[in-house]
Structure 1
Amino acid sequence: MVKKKILKRIGYCLGGIVGLFVLAALVVVINHKIHLSREDALVKPMGQMVSVGGHKMSIYTEGQGNTTLVFLAGGGTASPILDFKSLYSRLSDKYKIAVPERIGYGYSDVADVPRDLDTVLEEDRQALLLAGLKPPYVLVPHSITGLESVYWAQKYPKEVSAIVGIDVGTVNAYFDPTGPKIADFITKIKILAFAERMGITRFIPSMVESEAAITSGDLTDHEKDVYRAIFYRRTNTPPMVEEIVDLMDNAHKVDALPAPQLPVLFFISNGDGIGLGYTKEQWQGFQISYLSKIANSKYVLMDDYGHYLQDFAPDALAQKIKEFIPAN
């Protein structure tokens, strides 16, 4: 009899604990949806919306000149348009600026679409053409889109006149045996993605407040509010996660072709904020080693700054870009 009572009490306790978890989850989700509704007015597209493959893609343009700089955001960057703003605002007096936002990013749709390199590249090419921007382009990739920019130049050499890489991941970085285990990294990203879809991250404001576009750069208070609103909609979306899943296959695709021979400039950080566990020397060495395959290449070491150089040192980057890519 006593044993039954004890088991009954344990059952009640466990049921109560489960009930509390369910209630807490409901509170979190409802809070998230209320905030999303309130933030709707903040997330009106800043540029054009074009239809690519049956989905809406956002592409932002500004500036003047005959040379088009195409900014390609790093993996997981919630708002490419605002993330690059501090840099391109210093360049738009001399160049035409374009910021295509991939599926799952910024104002673009979130959709279940393949994230292999060929699909992503064709989407960006089509978005640029629909926005009235014809090649050749100067590609300005950040981080993971170093692969796309190199592949673009490999596959369509007449469309790319130069590459200006901002702390890009090169194929040798992804193949290095001392690097992170991609499977473990994917697991962590998927856990974060679930937490973000639920709205749990709203209770950890330090996550969005630590974004480089907010801590540094030139965003106005209103633009920071917009960035925050986008962050809670576009962090670790399914297409972003799929990019990481496809990362190694995409790297092998790039590695199978010769390094493109065109003017290339790399800005290389101290490696802080990448999250891949490399030392500064390793991270810088990957990019410098890859450039040794390209005759007309240069690099600028930026030891005082972390991965998001476009936010941390926009003046220095803008000046070097103007020297490297003469405006016409």
Structure 2
Amino acid sequence: MKDKFRKDLEFVQINGHKMHIFRCGDESKPKLVFMSGSGTVAPMYDFKVLYQKLLDDYRIIVIEKFGYGYSDLYECPCDIDSLVSFQKQALKMAGEKAPYILLPHSMSGIEAIRWKQLYPDDIKAIVGLDMATPLTYMEWGDKEINSRLALMRKFKRLNDLGLLFWYPVSKRSLSKDEIQQHNLLKRRNLMNNCYINEAKQVLKNAGIVDGAGKADCPTLMFVSDGKQTSPNWINNEREYAKSVNAEMVLLNCGHYIHYYKSDKISSKIQAFLSDLQD
């Protein structure tokens, strides 16, 4: 399977393992750094439906963490500070310079918040794509986390047996070759141990982020209808938005909001970031 993957990819070496970074667009323009949610098998393709609408005005960067996309299936430390450090290192090694505008989806929301807490000068703004906040994970507790871990392990077994045939992906923006690549990455990556190890740590990581104070920067939060996340999702998002004086945009769609509302999201991002530059 490895020989079938694309050859025109850019990697950096971290701890002796390859991490893939996708970059496009003018280097002189504001840098949008897309951060994927837990278990997204191919972030480079997952976000394309959105970032292609922003490419004319921004530098686009998609970090594929270990176990994601084309990066190595390296079971790295999954404490929150290590997860942030690896991504920060990857950007530096690729020659990118701060400040960045982070666009986290789902679980990477707590990574984005932590990044701002640890390295405040790196981050100009955060644009949450139905980003998770510490409150939701802390509300779940061990019981809910363990339940979701059991489901991940079940999906992993089915995928290993070739019996898992459905996975969320927006094909609207992908070429035939990109769809084929996405399918190959799904077969390789789905519910691998990197994802499972991250999930094991998420409750502890959320507690660290929650206890470290506010991530004080301009923040825009797009929020789904909550039906694919958890019952208190919208209330928790609203509470976090209030705490950091964020603008919140509620969307009537599923958790992968960029699949459904990329036109509205891209237009709002451009207006929000334009206001920051004025």
Normalising by the residue count of structure 1, what TM-score does the alignment of the two structures yield? Answer: 0.80
Deviations 1:268-312 (A, max 9, x none): 0112333xxx23xx21111110111113x1010001x10111121
Partner of 2:66: 103
Partner of 2:270: 322
Describe the SS at the equivalent of 1:246.
helix
Partner of 1:292: 242
Gaps of 5+ in 1: 1-35
Partner of 2:92: 129
Coordinate RMSD, CA, aligned = 1.8
| Structure 2 counterparts to residues 213-292 of structure 1, below 5 A | 213-214=170-171, 217-274=172-229, 278-279=230-231, 282-292=232-242
The structure where helix makes up a greater share of residues is 1
Describe the SS at the equivalent of 2:243.
coil
Describe the SS at the equivalent of 2:127.
strand
Describe the SS at the equivalent of 1:158.
helix
Structure 1 residues 322 and 79: CA distance shift in structure 2, 3 A: same
Does residue 268 of structure 2 align to residue 311 of structure 1? no
CA distance in 2, matches of 1:240, 1:193: 10
Describe the SS at the equivalent of 1:176.
helix
Describe the SS at the equivalent of 1:247.
helix
Once the two structures are TM-superposed, the CA of residue 179 in structure 1 deviates from its matched residue by 9.5
Describe the SS at the equivalent of 1:267.
strand
| Structure 2 counterparts to residues 192-211 of structure 1, below 5 A | 192-196=155-159, 198-201=160-163, 204-205=164-165, 207-208=166-167, 211=168
Partner of 1:31: none
Partner of 2:40: 77
Letter in 2 for 1:293: S
Does residue 161 of structure 2 align to residue 212 of structure 1? no
Partner of 2:130: 167
Once the two structures are TM-superposed, the CA of residue 110 in structure 1 deviates from its matched residue by 0.3
Could you say which structure has the larger radius of gyration?
1
State the aligned residue count. Answer: 275
| Structure 2 counterparts to residues 8-27 of structure 1, below 5 A | none
2:23 to 61, 78, 81: 61
Describe the SS at the equivalent of 1:132.
coil
Once the two structures are TM-superposed, the CA of residue 221 in structure 1 deviates from its matched residue by 2.4
CA distance in 2, matches of 1:85, 1:110: 22
Structure 1 residues 179 and 87: CA distance shift in structure 2, 3 A: farther
Structure 1 residues 60 and 178: CA distance shift in structure 2, 3 A: closer
Sequence identity percentage: 31
